[in-house]
A and B are shown apart, each in its own frame.
Chain A
Amino acid sequence: MSAGTERILAAIAASGLAGVHPSLPEVALGQADWRAVLDGVAVQRLAGLLARAIAGGHFAVTDDQAAEAARLEVKWASQALALERVLIGVSERLDRAGLDHLVLKGPAFAHRLYPDPNLRSFADIDLLVPGGSFDDALATLVARGGRRRYDEPRPGFTARFGKGASVVTPGGYEIDVHRSFVAGPLGQRIDLASLFASAVPFTLADHPMRQLAPEEGFLHACYHAMLGSATPRLVPQRDLAEFVLGMGLDVDRVLRLARAWHGQAVVARAVALAWSTFALPHDHQLAAWALAYRPSPAEERAMAVSAGSGRSYEGEAVATVSAISGTRNKAAYLRAVLFPDRDYLRRREGSYRARLGHGLRLARQLRDRR
């Protein structure tokens, strides 16, 4: 993707943010450039924002380009409705089974953060469930014809240590069931039980649901922006900008939670990134803190094993063991990653030899740390 296309996509993602005046095309793009932008809009899930920028006269287009953008917007909006219908059905089933759950990201952010939910597209449903009922929640979804993706090395591993699993519904929609925000050491440090204690209600088409409290939701947006994909995506950055600029966050509480979760570096990097991407004003308290924050070496290591080019299975496992509390828990984690079930190995890696290689490297790293 060219630098010019990237700049336009960032400007689309920033459009409509309070106090921001992104530089959008004042003359209709040529067909090749337009195609590149439209492809990027689909990948980055910016269809609603693009259509709104065009309708507001902020993005110059030809009639054909306007029609294409409108079709893309309708396609994503229709998908959002279909996913919200899936969410309502899933939430009702979990409620009937007495299984607590919170709605994360997509619909929760679309209806809470944005002036119009159509500005926040999404492609799946994300739920957070307590580790203690994680397997029951998965079983409830699978019992209705869902197909689980991502096996676990041993039964109960994800419920105890993992980030989560995905279930694909018979209709082809993906539901990500999370135990934590992220895998690895940073995911182990989050006080997951407190997320449910502080959760807040919302309604979706008259259906009562719950989502994270504003400060916890903002922290999740930061984790997702920095650790959710190898290259930070634009919509998570827009989410956290919406939180900071529009939600009236309790910044002291945000920073207290971030410190308790050992996640200050994640928050600082995420805020600094969004501020840079969208050229936001630096006078906000949180932005000033983020730009001045200097991560410790330990924080740098935790970030490196959790995202980016430095990420490795062995490095993440070693760092995760350090973050897990209690000798028995550490032992259970190591046993699962070093000696997984045969079925898991067969499906995931094909042979014991590959796993043996992982195991030897992990054992070497653990020895080197002593």
Chain B
Amino acid sequence: MTGEEVLGDPDPRWVRSARVLWRQTTTELLLLNPDGGADDVVCLTGTGAELWALLDHPLPLGRVAEVLSQRHDAEVSVVAGDVAPVLDRLAEAGLVIRLGSPS
């Protein structure tokens, strides 16, 4: 965890871990944490790959949901509900980092 990561922050921002290896194929986005224990490559498709593209700089969940909802003509709250568990799983795998909200 970096010094900036704050687990209890009510409006954290999310960003790709700079330590992640990744490849964008024509059909899937493949991610691998070089510090991970297993050889499992994480595959993202569709909006998962879009999410990864958005996280090249830190964004709060609300902003991510706004962008994706505009692109896909969906309710922001619905998108946020879908994205939140994905972010949590990516964070558990060490692929994205949860940062404190900007001061």
Task: Given A81-B21, A205-B19, answer yes or no on A74-B27 (Cβ-Cβ < 8 Å).
Answer: yes
Chain B residues within 8 Å of A, Cβ to Cβ: 18-28, 30-32, 34, 39, 41, 43
- Chain B residue nearest in CB terms to A84: B21
Instruction: Report chain B residues within 8 Å CB of A89.
Output: 34
Q: Is the CB of B30 within 8 A of A85?
A: no
In the assembled complex, the Cα of A117 lies from the Cα of B20 at a distance in Å of 14
Q: Is the CB of B23 within 8 A of A70?
A: no
Q: Is the CB of B25 within 8 A of A81?
A: no
A-B contact pairs, 14 of them (CB 8 A): A54-B26, A74-B25, A74-B27, A77-B23, A81-B22, A81-B23, A82-B32, A88-B21, A88-B34, A118-B24, A118-B25, A206-B18, A207-B19, A207-B34
Instruction: Report chain A residues within 8 Å CB of B19.
Output: 205-207
Shortest Cβ distance from A52 into chain B, in angstroms? 6
Chain A at the B interface: SS class: helix
Taking a contact as CB atoms closer than 8 A, the residue among B18, B27, B34, B39 that contacts A84 in the complex is B34
Task: List A113-140 residues whose CB lies under 8 Å from chain B.
Answer: 116-118
Instruction: Report chain B residues within 8 Å CB of A77.
Output: 23, 25, 30
- For A48, A54, A77, A82, the residue with the greatest tally of chain B CB atoms inside 10 Å of its CB is A77
Interface membership of A51, Cβ < 8 A: yes
In the assembled complex, the Cα of A48 lies from the Cα of B22 at a distance in Å of 14
Q: Is the CB of A73 within 8 A of B26?
A: yes
Interface membership of A80, Cβ < 8 A: yes
Shortest Cβ distance from B29 into chain A, in angstroms? 10
- Chain B residue nearest in CB terms to A73: B25
Q: Is the CB of B20 within 8 A of A205?
A: yes
Interface residues on A, range: 20 to 34
Instruction: Report chain B residues within 8 Å CB of A73.
Output: 25-27
List the 4 closest pairs (A to B, CB-CB), nearest first: A206-B18, A55-B26, A81-B32, A77-B23
Interface membership of A98, Cβ < 8 A: no
- Chain B residue nearest in CB terms to A56: B26
Q: Is the CB of B32 within 8 A of A118?
A: no
Taking a contact as CB atoms closer than 8 A, the residue among A74, A85, A116, A171 that contacts B34 in the complex is A85
In the assembled complex, the Cα of A48 lies from the Cα of B25 at a distance in Å of 8
Interface membership of A23, Cβ < 8 A: no
Given A205-B19, A206-B18, 10 more pairs with CB closer than 8 A = A51-B26, A70-B25, A70-B27, A74-B27, A77-B25, A77-B30, A78-B41, A85-B32, A117-B23, A204-B21
Shortest Cβ distance from A115 into chain B, in angstroms? 11
- Chain B residue nearest in CB terms to A118: B23
Instruction: Report chain A residues within 8 Å CB of B23.
Output: 77-78, 80-81, 117-118
In the assembled complex, the Cα of A207 lies from the Cα of B17 at a distance in Å of 12
Instruction: Report chain A residues within 8 Å CB of B28.
Output: 74
Task: List A161-204 residues whose CB lies under 8 Å from chain B.
Answer: 171, 204
In the assembled complex, the Cα of A239 lies from the Cα of B2 at a distance in Å of 38
Instruction: Report chain A residues within 8 Å CB of B34.
Output: 84-85, 88-89, 205, 207
Shortest Cβ distance from B16 into chain A, in angstroms? 10
Instruction: Report chain A residues within 8 Å CB of B27.
Output: 51, 70, 73-74
CB 8 Å contact bits of A48-67 with B (1 = contact, 0 = none)? 10011011000000000000
Instruction: Report chain A residues within 8 Å CB of B22.
Output: 81
In the assembled complex, the Cα of A205 lies from the Cα of B34 at a distance in Å of 8
In the assembled complex, the Cα of A206 lies from the Cα of B18 at a distance in Å of 6
In the assembled complex, the Cα of A218 lies from the Cα of B28 at a distance in Å of 31
In the assembled complex, the Cα of A204 lies from the Cα of B32 at a distance in Å of 12
In the assembled complex, the Cα of A171 lies from the Cα of B39 at a distance in Å of 10
In the assembled complex, the Cα of A88 lies from the Cα of B35 at a distance in Å of 9
